[in-house]
Each structure stands twice: as structure tokens, then as C-alpha cells.
Chain A
Amino acid sequence: MQKSIDVYAYLRHEKKFPLIWCAGCGNGIILGSIIRAVDGLGLDKNLVSMVSGIGCSGRTSTYVDFNTLHTTHGRALAFATGVKFGRPELTTLVVMGDGDCLSIGGNHFIHAARRNIDMTAFIFNNNIYGMTGGQVSPTTPEGMIASTASYGNREPNFDACKLAVAAGASFVARGTTYEADSLDEIIALAIQNKGFSVVEVMTPCPTIYGRYNRLGNAVKMLRMQLEDTVTVEEAAGMSPEELKDKVVTGVFHDAPRPELCEEYELVIETALKK
């Protein structure tokens, strides 16, 4: 059991702690998983860059001792494209919230997936805009309450993973903060994938989403993740009716294909011949 020991070597613990997030927010759990995955893969901290957007998830980059870039709302993937394409030896991790990635950053998301640029995009999905006070997000399930959907959300929500697969991401998976151990493994696989990897993580927001929708405290919301999730394998044998209110977790798509930075080497080769 060495899990607790290594994490601190990756944190800017002398500078920026305690974390800005509310009590029981799952973002810290995901950060822990990312760190353990990076540690497990033995990556050099100097060659890891973390790019984040705006919102609760955006603050993730502040706390971790990599080359960190906290960018503008929704643009994390575009900035990360510059970082990665400019210096391909960097392992690039992109941390975004659900609104950040799927609403304002939706265009960057589908195009990063289409290019299959080698980076790992994390979507911290708490079903709501937490930092700004609980507005409805593209992943708020129908019928749920948000500060801008006081009478219940009537818009259908995105399935980020299906979107990513359709747009061309070469590795797509979903995990939950409750299953942090399997999340470590999923993240390690995602980072190892040479191409655009998407890891959507369901994370509880007890302070805002939980309070609006009377879902209970952090512990209850974590337990709910356990009850509401089924694995990809289990889901395969279930009917659509049974799957209706379930969150499916696991690796959905793992199909490596040519990666942008490597392909550009071919462009350079061709250009030099002409």
C-alpha cells in the first residue's frame, strides 16, 4: 500500500493548499487519480504539461507540479494543441469541466478528436456549472433543477463519450470518483494511448448540484455513483429500459489510428523532397 505516499511529490503543497473546492467535491479525487496514473507510468514531471480551462475544474492545474497552463473558458484544448504541436515530447493532459468542454469548448473538442492529437482530455462532469453558482449545463439530466432551470431542465443532455467516439477520438472511457481505483487504471490507459483520449469522470457536486436537487451530502452522492453505475460489460446484457437512468462506465472505444504530430513528420518529409 504505497498509494498515499507518492502523491505529495506531485503537489504544490507548500504553496497553494488547501484546495479551493467545496467540501466533498470530487475534483480532488480525480486529481489524485491523475497523479497516481502519471506516477505509475513513471513519467518525468518536466515533460508533463497540464492545461486547464475555466470553472471549478480549471483550478486543477494550479495544484499540481507539472508545466501548468490555466487558460480561458472552453479554450483549453486549443491552447493544448499549441503546446503539444509546438513541443511534441510533452505529455499533455487537458482538464476541463462539462460546460467548459462541451458547451463553450464544443468546437475545439470535436476538432481535437478529429485530428487525433496525442493528448488526454479529462471531462470533470458534475452535471452543472459549479463555480458560477449552479447554472444548467449541457450534461444536466432532463428534469433536474439548476439555478437557470428552476422549473426543471427540459433540454436533452449530451453523452460526452458518444460525442467523442463520433468525432474520432481514439480512446474513450468513463469513470466515477467512487471507483477511483479503476479510474487510475483507465487514466493510465488513456495517457498511454498515442492519440486523442477522452476520460469523462462523473464527480459529485454536493454543494450546488446536490443541494438544488436534494441529493444529500458528499457521502450520499458518492454512494449514489456506486448504485447508478453499471460497467460496459454489464450494460451489454441490459435492455435500454434497464439502462435508462444508469451511467455506464469503462472503456468504450480503444482504436488507435494515425496521430497528428507523427503525421506532420510525414508532411515535413514530403516538403523537404519538393
Chain B
Amino acid sequence: MLSKKTKVKYTEKKKKSKYPMVSFQIFDKWCKRCGICVDLCIHNVFMVDEDGYPRAVKPVECNVCGFCITRCPDFALRILERGEKNAQG
């Protein structure tokens, strides 16, 4: 379980990455908290928050393999590359 404090700590950490900078959009309304994205990501980008929803805590680790998106059964996850607008799906 991830508290709000740690979440802030992770996302604020600016680390140089060899991969393109991405941000994650998670539609809580669609997400059913199955945990597939959290458990199957080999880079451990996600952690669950207090309510069980996934949160991208280490986006810098993401190599944009797309594994989480294609395995999200609810279309609740979206990767946005830098510069892309955070449009609601």
C-alpha cells in the first residue's frame, strides 16, 4: 500500500532517463483495480494507492513497452508522451 506521501516523493524525483519522458493517464472510473498493470510491469512503474487504484510512481523507469496498456482489460490506462495533451478519454 502506498501512502500519499511516498507518491509525491517518487514523482518529484527527477532522474535522467534514456527513454522518452512519458506521463500516465489512469481513468479511475473505468479501472476495476485488477492489479494487472501493477504486477506485470517489469520496471515497477506502478503502485497501488490507498483505494487500490494504480498510480504511476516511477514514470522515468518506463521504457514505453506498452505491456500494461495492451493488458489493461478496461482501457483505463493511457501513456502520454511529453507534449501530448491530457485529454479525457
Contact = CB atoms under 8 A, between A and B. Distances in A.
The answer on direct contact between A and B (beta carbons under 8 Å) is: yes
Interface of A: 1, 3-5, 7-8, 11, 13, 17-19, 21-29, 32-33, 36, 177-178, 180-181, 184, 206, 217-219, 222-223
Given A32-B72, A218-B34, 8 more contacts: A13-B89, A17-B29, A18-B30, A18-B76, A28-B73, A217-B35, A222-B36, A222-B40
A217 B36 CA distance: 9
Nearest to B28: A18
A180 B64 CA distance: 15
Contact of A3 (B35, B39, B66): B66
B17 interface: no
Contacts of A18: 29-32, 74, 76
Contacts of B75: 7-8, 11, 13, 17, 19, 28, 32
Nearest to B39: A219
19 contacts: A1-B64, A1-B81, A3-B69, A4-B69, A7-B75, A13-B75, A17-B29, A18-B30, A19-B73, A22-B32, A24-B73, A27-B73, A29-B70, A32-B72, A36-B70, A181-B66, A218-B34, A218-B36, A219-B40
A259 B85 CA distance: 46
Given A13-B89, A18-B29, A26 B35 contact: no
A19 B71 contact: no
A196 to B, nearest CB: 27
Contact of A24 (B32, B65, B70): B32
Contacts of A25: 73
Contacts of A4: 66, 69, 77-79
B33 interface: yes
A253 to B, nearest CB: 26
Given A4-B78, A222-B40, A177 B32 contact: no
Given A1-B64, A1-B79, A1-B81, A219 B73 contact: no
Contacts of B64: 1
Contacts of B66: 1, 3-4, 181
Contact of B36 (A13, A19, A24): A24
B69 to A, nearest CB: 4
A29 B73 contact: yes
A58 to B, nearest CB: 16
Contact of B30 (A19, A22, A32, A184): A19
Contacts of A7: 75
A21 B64 CA distance: 27
B36 A219 contact: yes
Contacts of A22: 32
A13 B89 CA distance: 7
A222 B40 CA distance: 9
Contact of B71 (A5, A13, A178): A178
A8 B79 CA distance: 12
Contacts of B77: 4
B71 A24 contact: no
Ranked nearest first, the 7 interchain pairs of A and B with the lowest CB-CB distance are A28-B73, A23-B32, A24-B34, A180-B70, A23-B34, A1-B64, A219-B39
A65 to B, nearest CB: 13
Q: Which of A1, A4, A11: most chain B Cβ within 10 A?
A: A4
B30 A17 contact: yes
A180 B66 CA distance: 10
Most A CB contacts (10 A, CB to CB) among B29, B64, B70, B73 go to B73
